[in-house]
Amino acid sequence: MRIFRFVFTILLTGAFIWLLQTPQKFGEASIPPLGTFFNPFSGFWQNAESAKGFSQKDARIPGLQGPVEVVYDDLLVPHIFAQNLQDAAMVQGYVTAANRLWQMDITTRKAAGRLSEVLGERTLALDRLSRRRGMVFAAENALLGWQKSPETMHLLTAYTAGVNAYVDQLSAGDYPIEFKLLNYEPERWSELKTALVIESMAENLSSGESDLAATNTLALLGKPAFDMLFPEWETRQHPVVPDTGQWKNIMTGLPVVVPTGGTTSGVSEKNNLSGKALLTATNAAYSFNKNRNVPSSGNNLPDAEIDPYLMGSNNWAVSGARTQSHHAILANDPHLNLTLPSIWYQVQVHTPQQNCYGVSLPGVPGIIIGFNEDIAWGVTNVSHDVSDWYEVKWANPERTKYDLDGEIREVQKRIETIGIKGREALIDTVRYTVWGPVTHDFEPNHPLFNCALRWVSHDIPDERQLGLFLILNGGKNYDDYKKAIVGFDCPAQNFVFATRTGDIAIQVQGRFPIRNPEQGRFVQDGSRWSNSWRGYIPEDQVPSMKNPAYGFVFSANQHSTPPTYPYYYLGNFDHYRGRHIYDRLAALQNATVDSMKTMQLDNFSQRAHDALPAMLALLNRPITDADGQKLLQDLTAWNYRYDAEQTAPPLFEVWYDSCYLRTWDELDVQRKQGKDVMLPETWRFNELLATDTSNIFFDHPNTPYRETARDIVNESFRLMQQYFQQNPQKRQAWAPFRGFAIKHLAQLDAFSRLDVKVGGHKTAANALSRSNGPSWRMIVELGDPVRGYGVFPGGQSGNPGSRYYDNMVNTWAKGEYYDLLLLRSPDEASDRIQGHQTFTAR
């Protein structure tokens, strides 16, 4: 009996322990193991940091050559003082991991298609796509490029060792909270993972593809109508680098580029549309919709996502001639999908050779955007299309051989083993052609089923350097800047630059394919090598500019050059922010850091400024009902600013979107049926609205009457009025109407910020949408000493239980900045320093 109850109690206890350390499923939701999770010694309580702040302990990193001192300021920014760059990289790896380990893990898992290993089957489709797009292939090739530069590899290895020194000393209680919630363990870092972080950014920024949509739209409309609706050049735009005659000696040997421009309409009559099929297709689509009671386009207004947000950014540098202090000022605000933990991690790296402050990407050594005691630089995305689709001509039914110029070639198979939590791994075979991976060939109904992806990131670079870290972070002058950014291939960036000696410069830096006119705009025939890229634009011929006479350089994801640039390129370019920024820069006199702030925070929308007067001009008056008069009054009085508290922007948004979608009803109806088609860019729409009001596309094909822009504008105004009558709760200020969230990377609301009220618009310099926006605002005045100001919407810590997790969000939302603390020595006195941490080797 005694033995029985003793054994029984042991078994019962064992059963409880087992139960409490096993994750439980409640329907769809998965709950972490309760025992380990609630245990205050290693569970979630351990992630609740003291609100008093600083608690960094001295640490050891095997392999450090000398002691490294880290000073933490009041924002928990580490200021690393090392004897050499390698030691600095090691400690940067350590402190970044200490704050952002889970973010680093999940970012690389996503890029590598390894989410399902820890999250199970629900992320399998995502993983499969990452693998099939060749993300790991790209990262492996990038690493091969780095391996050709011993200096780069030393830094990468040091950074990796630093991260791993942190990972190796972790006990279960130290794991970031997300590991505990999702019930998996951190892994060691590797140089390949650094490459994956970069490829993941490259994919984010360079993979906007419209080849398929353009191909479908061209087939639907015919060439004349397509060219009329999709001109490649907005004539009011100011390109990043203007033509000053610098390209006249470049002989490309390519056909002359004659880009199609806007303004003149090539097609104005229904009969001129070579795509009669369009109208037939449209009518068919309408009857399809009618049969299914699908509301016709234009009725479901505010959720319509027109002009999907393009990852964008602003940067500029103003020469001393335009500033009050006579020192150059540089500003940069990269716009990205805002997340928590924050995209960026601020750091200062001080060695005998450099003293640099700025933001780094967790997982990548060095500083991406920042300044030192002599120079400052910033980046925006170049938006060139550097990925194309080629339709493969298969030579056998098994699709293992394909035809290239009559020669039969064998595909190369890459076996991808995708681990899946809770079930056996999926073994996927990806076919690689000379173009690249045949991404979608596991989905027989996918329109790109037979297509291979050609992406610049799949190339093995000759020699790839961490040029930013090795040269630019410690750079002193324009020559260093030029040397540092050579070979920065993908994602291509507009590097803006300024020095304390007064130079300003900008360069459109990247690896850009040499194309025939229109090449890459549509899905291409992959059976002819003549369709391949002709190489890459030589490094000395990429658009670049130094010290222009008018005293400023800038970029806002607009076209890199005017059409006179000898190389054809295409991409997703912004058409609004750049124009307004140019206007403001051109008017600048005696600029100060504060005037730069007002420019970054500017909510003025060039798009509204272009479109609203045209819309108001077409609106029939008088409007007789009081409600309509009130709406009109609000709109007429509007200053085109998307400030948080303004009430006119929601009216304009609904009215404009309705006009837009009702104009492109022929195309939108195709889209609603799941066909990938393009709608014209909004700048082209604005132009037609202002200059070609009887364009055939304003006509609704299913009415006997021929509508014009006037009809569209008036019926849309009525719809807008109706919408606000039916949804009175929506008649509110811009910030609550649009909504805004900074979401946690795992989409956990508890770890997100859903309460932030901000204005801004994707067409304004302060380019905020529901979840995208300025991920880092930085302004640097290159005086003596250099002074930096910056803020990002998050915090230094990735731990939701830390006060440094989102402590900068409110400052950012209010449009305020922090003084960035560039220390000269670890002993420098400052009331902002809250603690020190010393690193030594064993």
Interface contacts to another protein, rule CB under 8 A: 2-3, 5-6, 9-10, 12-13, 16-17, 20-21, 34-36, 38-52, 172, 177, 181, 748-751, 800-801, 803
CB of 19 to another protein, least distance (A): 11
What number of other Cβ atoms are within 10 A of residue 177's Cβ?
21
Tell me which residue of 501, 496, 591 sits closest to 544, measured CA to CA: 496
CB of 47 to another protein, least distance (A): 6
Q: Bridge-partner residues for 837, per DSSP?
A: 70
CB of 428 to another protein, least distance (A): 33
CB of 45 to another protein, least distance (A): 5
CB of 534 to another protein, least distance (A): 54
Tell me which residue of 99, 129, 39, 176 sits closest to 363, measured CA to CA: 99
| Cβ nearer to another protein, comparing 21 with 207 | 21
CB of 753 to another protein, least distance (A): 11
| Cβ nearer to another protein, comparing 733 with 748 | 748
813, amino acid identity: A
Handedness of CA 89, 95, 98, 102 (dihedral sign): negative
417 Cβ neighbours under 8 A, 6+ residues apart:
425, 426, 427, 428
Q: Tell me the CA distances in angstroms from 374 to 197, 554, 652, one per residue in order.
A: 29, 20, 46
What number of other Cβ atoms are within 10 A of residue 357's Cβ?
27
| Cβ nearer to another protein, comparing 17 with 425 | 17
| Cβ nearer to another protein, comparing 637 with 750 | 750
Q: Looking up tokens 């930013």, which residue turns up?
A: 468
Distance CA 480, CA 455 (A): 29
| Cβ nearer to another protein, comparing 50 with 244 | 50
CB of 205 to another protein, least distance (A): 31
| Cβ nearer to another protein, comparing 13 with 268 | 13
Q: Looking up tokens 């078994």, which residue turns up?
A: 11
724 Cβ neighbours under 8 A, 6+ residues apart:
631, 651, 654, 730, 731
63, amino acid identity: G
Give the long-range contacts of residues 609-615, CB within 8 A, separation 24 or more.
Answer: 609/640, 610/576, 610/683, 610/686, 610/690, 611/656, 611/682, 611/685, 611/686, 611/689, 612/638, 612/640, 612/652, 612/656, 614/686, 614/689, 614/690, 615/655, 615/656, 615/659, 615/689, 615/713
Handedness of CA 33, 34, 37, 40 (dihedral sign): negative
| Cβ nearer to another protein, comparing 47 with 86 | 47
Distance CA 701, CA 663 (A): 10
Tell me which residue of 684, 640, 543, 646 sits closest to 233, measured CA to CA: 684
- The answer to whether the peptide bond before residue 62 is cis (omega within 30 degrees of 0) is no
* Contact yes or no for 709/639 (Cβ under 8 A): no
| Cβ nearer to another protein, comparing 51 with 427 | 51
| Cβ nearer to another protein, comparing 43 with 239 | 43
CB of 34 to another protein, least distance (A): 7
726 Cβ neighbours under 8 A, 6+ residues apart:
none
CB of 177 to another protein, least distance (A): 8
| Cβ nearer to another protein, comparing 33 with 760 | 33
CB of 798 to another protein, least distance (A): 13
| Cβ nearer to another protein, comparing 3 with 626 | 3
CB of 182 to another protein, least distance (A): 11
Cα dihedral 156, 162, 166, 169 in deg (nearest 10): 110
CB of 842 to another protein, least distance (A): 22
Distance CA 295, CA 613 (A): 29
| Cβ nearer to another protein, comparing 12 with 425 | 12
3-state secondary structure of 306: coil
CB of 179 to another protein, least distance (A): 14
Helices (H), 664-804: 665-672, 682-691, 709-726, 734-738
| Cβ nearer to another protein, comparing 26 with 705 | 26
Distance CA 529, CA 435 (A): 9
Q: Tell me the CA distances in angstroms from 498 to 40, 315, 366, 529, 569, one per residue in order.
A: 51, 11, 19, 43, 27
